[in-house]
Chain A
């Protein structure tokens, strides 16, 4: 049995203008110790997906359909009491901005001890010892003194390390990291990502990494989900998605990265912008920006098609694949 299984999840936000579906038809499984990346542009629904796994969506949002199965229990149907025993304990979450996550009026030690005493029946001294040990794991120098400091006394990178240490406190099975390094500089980002990779591998923790940075995803994760307008449109092994993306959107997203361009030349661009969730077009949501759109795209939402090791939601996958192979053959023929 998979560690986490999301089946046909749909999340709605009831707004004055009417219902907005922020997530539709989300299906995936995560095994123990697996590292997953969720990528997409802002508004694609990646954070909502992260939140909905531990049922953290606040009003007016709610899970309108589907289930989130964690070890045979449906998290979407749990009450607050039951959820409290899961959140922070079995599944923990790391948010984007460490300054917003940490309580500014409590010392770091207080916050860590509070979390431990909530979930376990241990003495305060034992809880402190565990906290010190976890701070050591995330390479914070002199953890005993840090415990008595307040968040504002630490730098951004150190704060995010503390947040990761808090996430690891209860030895969770899954860590959901929502843009954990977006607020940090590149050199700090590299350190934090390496740390998370090491901790997940050592403790056999599953990681769900939500980010817009394909570079980070390619370094850390094994499988990648690409999201667009509330749906997963492509999923598969990270390697394959990065090197041989099948969905026109994923292709465009990768080619738009400056590192894929030729110095001084125009970048590849995807025309237009993502539709707002209030007015997602009928059929394929990407079709208005897609170069390969056909008649069928404006009527039917594409289902997942298996292509290589990936699953792709596009009507044109088979044709695109054939075309690509034809081009490759041509290049080969030309070379000979």
Chain B
């Protein structure tokens, strides 16, 4: 199958997302030097992310916990409102739409969540769970049509349609995740956001679910945005990879480029930390210190405090994504100046 990788399906432009952590209005008031002052503190979860998702690709977003990858996914799906910036789907801005106007897009964009134990309603049978979105998005369909559709998706994810009368607790983790995938596929979406869909599963089951997702992509021409912290999965599954650190994009490239020759110092450290079967002992690039808190962001490049190549420019100026000679996009002054 030849995948055309030139048309962009989803555009994220200058996306920012802040979460207030100082409580409601009264909690923010402080008495200071004889005056009442208002203090506000924010967690800066996403800080200026620009990203294009191309038709037919599987874009993986990776990073450590707290880097904002799930927030990006949720903002794309409209589960969170961006603080600023825009998200467009096929050229149409969707981040400021009303719920009603968004309806056709909700049918095109579906989400698979991390934990299949929490994302399936324990009081609904599998067929009810699967029929609900079909009925909701196709109100004119008859009961028989809905039933056929449910059977079809159950069959396509390898769950016996006769098990539809069962409840989620009667299934194993892997089967539940198959049902979550079936629910996403039930409305024939074009674009699926998968937020850590396999990290709650065992290795042998992970392989089954990954294969299922790859088959579905081939059969249905899906585009994936795949959020994960497991880099070895990325290498296998992703066509392109975006590496995030503290709410910003460090590096973006095809998975071959990124795994064969990572350019950003953080990507290099991250890649070297994957435990490989071939290694005898851990042999990784050590980073100094820890991820700074996203409440008080470091000035300049967010990575400068831990970067072995940081200089004065890194402490002041925020690096922009630039295209390197190897074809990847890297946000790093040192790479830009040719120091690494």
Residues in chain A within 8 A of chain B (CB atoms) = 41-42, 155, 157-158, 185-191, 193-194, 197, 212-216, 218-220, 242, 252-254, 256-261, 263-264, 266-271, 273-274
Contact = CB atoms under 8 A, between A and B. Distances in A.
B269 A194 contact: no
A239 B278 CA distance: 9
Counting chain B residues whose Cβ lies within 8 A of the other chain, the interface size class is 35 or more
Interface of B: 64-65, 172, 174-175, 202-208, 210-211, 214-215, 229-233, 235-237, 239, 255-256, 269-270, 272-282, 284, 286-287, 290-291
A186 B64 contact: yes
B236 A267 contact: yes
Contacts of B229: 185-186
Contacts of A267: 207, 210-211, 236
A268 B207 contact: yes
Contact of A258 (B175, B233, B281, B290): B233
B282 A258 contact: no
14 contacts: A41-B204, A185-B64, A187-B284, A214-B203, A216-B275, A219-B281, A252-B204, A256-B206, A258-B230, A259-B277, A263-B255, A266-B214, A269-B204, A273-B205
Q: 7 tightest CB-CB pairs across the interface, nearest first?
A: A215-B275, A258-B236, A256-B207, A190-B273, A41-B202, A185-B64, A267-B207
A212 B202 contact: yes
Give the one of B64, B172, B207, B235 with max A CB within 10 A: B207
Contact of A214 (B214, B272, B277): B277
Contacts of B239: 264
Contacts of B291: 155
A197 B275 contact: no
B231 A218 contact: no
Contacts of A157: 290
B290 A155 contact: yes
A194 B207 contact: no
Nearest to B62: A186
Contact of B275 (A190, A270, A273): A190
A187 B64 contact: yes
A219 B235 contact: no
Contacts of B284: 187, 190-191, 194
Nearest to A267: B207
Given A263-B235, A266-B211, A256 B275 contact: no
A193 B235 contact: no
A218 B211 contact: no
Given A263-B235, A263-B236, A186 B270 contact: yes
Contact of B273 (A186, A261, A274): A186
Nearest to A256: B207
Give the one of B233, B276, B284 with max A CB within 10 A: B284
Given A187-B269, A189-B275, A270-B208, 6 more contacts: A190-B284, A213-B275, A219-B276, A219-B280, A253-B203, A273-B205
